[in-house]
Amino acid sequence: MDKIVIEGGASLRGDVEAGGAKNAALPLLFACLLTDQPCRLRRVPDVADIRTTRTLLQTLGATIEEVGPHELIVDCSGVREAEAPYDLVRKMRASFLALGPLVARFGRGRVSKPGGCAIGTRPVGMHLAGMMRLGARIEETHGYVDAVAEKLTGGHFIMEMPSVGATENVMLAAVLARGSSRIENAAREPEVVDLAAALSDMGAKIEGAGSSIIEIEGVEALGGYDHEVIPDRIEAGTFLIGAAMTRGDVHVDGARASDLGLLLECLEAAGATVVVEEGGVRVSAEARPRSVDIVTAPHPGFPTDLQAQWMALMTLSDGRARIAERIFENRFMHVPELARMGADIRVANGEAVVRGRERLSGAPVMATDLRASVSLVLAGLAAGGRTEVLRVYHLDRGYERIEEKLGALGASVRRVPV
Ligand code: UD1
């Protein structure tokens, strides 16, 4: 297992490219299960979660060809197996997205139930309620979920809350159902919109993705797609926060201001300069950040996946910032680690109060989940002295070559085998 070693103190400066969005690429890969035609996916990030998905699809019988850097052709014509085993699902919860396409195309899907994870219990009840609305029978035995339906039928599904995964899973099933479906209170994330675009390219009839009502008219069969994944707004946002935090100046190539709305407003409120440029977004800062409260919420609210990074920024602010986490019940695992670097943070009732300090001091710290680990990397960049971030595999789930990208921006970041 590697660790990341950071010598803090340098300002991030220069241009960096946002890779393809992991959270968009995952459902797009599962969409390949819906057709026996090849699908070509471009700008696929080379991160651990994508490798897990590739292994899962191959276990089901798919062939996957790497035709260029970040470019895959996925052929699911050979898929006969309809079971996603525990070994792979436990590595990555998004594997549960296999359920919708499997039951839609093969009449049966069997997927291991994902367990909890560091940030909360993360149930799948809404995914299952959605499948049942489409006429699937659900059985849960021996840690697996079986969804069976000779032919799914269109249905009307009102979600208790706009779950990203459940919206995607139901979309992936409803596109091949008989008749029309309607998802209300649907997630509006850009990744949902990207999935709808690729499904439309395959011949699906979908309207409303990006709004809270998605309408789908099922079709008999779908063809392949040729699709480029949207740039990763979370990776982009991480670099932009890093620029503000190190009083640097960074242009993130590919960052889409329309996907980053509230973050950019918050960065401006914190005193950074935000410029929407051709092909990307640039953030610079010269002074200590002002404190800015945030409340995480479904898109277009402040993304929970940027909460830890925002907290890292606020540890250096000139006041007191309130950070409320409303999506996951236990997403403050980075707090004790940031505290080891000198941050002053109190947590109570799903809210953190951060009193900014003038400086942090480098320390050995432990990554606990994907976004928590990158917040520790950001803190390490801004801190005095050396920071070592252990358990880097969390980081590798969602950030490609982060040490190289940060290095190119002037930071001293090394990956060291332990
Ligand atoms: C996706 C993202 C993740 C992000 C999250 C919220 C992917 C691969 N992952 O995760 O990075 O942090 O959206 O933006 O895209 N819930 C239920 N029952 C369900 C499903 C969800 O109660 O059946 C709850 C969850 O526990 C959580 C909330 O709904 O409290 C939102 O979760 P959801 O939007 O489903 O997150 P994911 O799709 O798992």
The pLDDT value recorded for residue 84 is 87
Residue whose CA is at the smallest distance from ligand 1 atom 35: 163
Distance 191 CA to ligand 1 centre (A): 13
Whether residue 304 has its Cβ less than 6 Å from ligand 1: yes
Ramachandran quadrant class, 49 (left: phi over 0; alpha: psi -120 to 50; beta: rest): alpha
Instruction: Please give the share of the chain, as a percent, with pLDDT higher than 70.
Output: 98
Pair 32, 122 in one domain: yes
pLDDT at 318 over 90: yes
Helix or strand (DSSP H, E) at 195: helix 190-201
Pair 87, 184 in one domain: yes
pLDDT at 409 over 60: yes
Query: If you average pLDDT over residues 315-336, what whole number do you get?
Result: 94
Whether residue 47 has its Cβ less than 6 Å from ligand 1: no
Residue linked to tokens 């990776």: 235
Task: Out of 193, 228, 263, pick the residue that ends a domain.
Answer: 228
Task: Out of 228, 244, 274, pick the residue that ends a domain.
Answer: 228
Pair 127, 222 in one domain: yes
Range with the lowest mean pLDDT among 24-33, 119-128, 184-193, 232-241? 119-128
The pLDDT value recorded for residue 66 is 96
Task: Out of 209, 228, 247, pick the residue that ends a domain.
Answer: 228
**Domain region containing 195:** 22-228
pLDDT at 323 over 60: yes
Whether residue 120 has its Cβ less than 6 Å from ligand 1: yes
Pair 267, 147 in one domain: no
Mean per-residue pLDDT of the chain:
95
Into how many domains does the chain fold?
A: 2
Whether residue 166 has its Cβ less than 6 Å from ligand 1: yes
pLDDT at 85 over 90: no
Distance 182 CA to ligand 1 centre (A): 20
Query: If you average pLDDT over residues 43-67, what whole number do you get?
Result: 95
pLDDT at 82 over 70: yes
Whether residue 372 has its Cβ less than 6 Å from ligand 1: no
Residue pair 27/191 in contact (Cβ under 8 Å)? The answer is yes
* DSSP letters spanning 94-105: GGGGGHHHHHHH
Distance 309 CA to ligand 1 centre (A): 19
Residue 413 identity (one-letter amino acid): V
* Ligand 1 atom at minimal distance to the Cα of residue 26: 8
Query: pLDDT tens, 345-377?
Result: 999 988 999 999 999 999 999 988 888 999 999
SS3 156: strand
Pair 210, 245 in one domain: no
pLDDT at 83 over 90: no
Whether residue 119 has its Cβ less than 6 Å from ligand 1: no
The pLDDT value recorded for residue 63 is 98
The pLDDT value recorded for residue 117 is 59
Residue whose CA is at the smallest distance from ligand 1 atom 7: 23
Instruction: Please give the share of the chain, as a percent, with pLDDT higher than 90.
Output: 86
Vertex 397: Cα angle to 393 and 398 (nearest 5): 130
Phi and psi, residue 256, nearest 5°: -105, 115
Looking up residue 240, the CATH number of its domain turns out to be 3.65.10.10
Distance between CA 4 and CA 379 in Å, rounded? 13
Distance 302 CA to ligand 1 centre (A): 14
Pair 172, 239 in one domain: no
Pair 319, 405 in one domain: yes
Query: pLDDT tens, 147-185?
Result: 999 999 999 999 999 999 999 999 999 999 999 999 999
Pair 295, 387 in one domain: yes
Pair 235, 90 in one domain: no
Pair 333, 375 in one domain: yes
Phi and psi, residue 378, nearest 5°: -60, -45
Query: If you average pLDDT over residues 59-81, what whole number do you get?
Result: 95
Pair 15, 28 in one domain: no
Query: If you average pLDDT over residues 79-99, what whole number do you get?
Result: 87
Q: How many whole angstroms from its chain centre is CA 386?
A: 29
Residue pair 178/218 in contact (Cβ under 8 Å)? The answer is yes
Query: If you average pLDDT over residues 112-124, what whole number do you get?
Result: 70
Pair 191, 315 in one domain: no
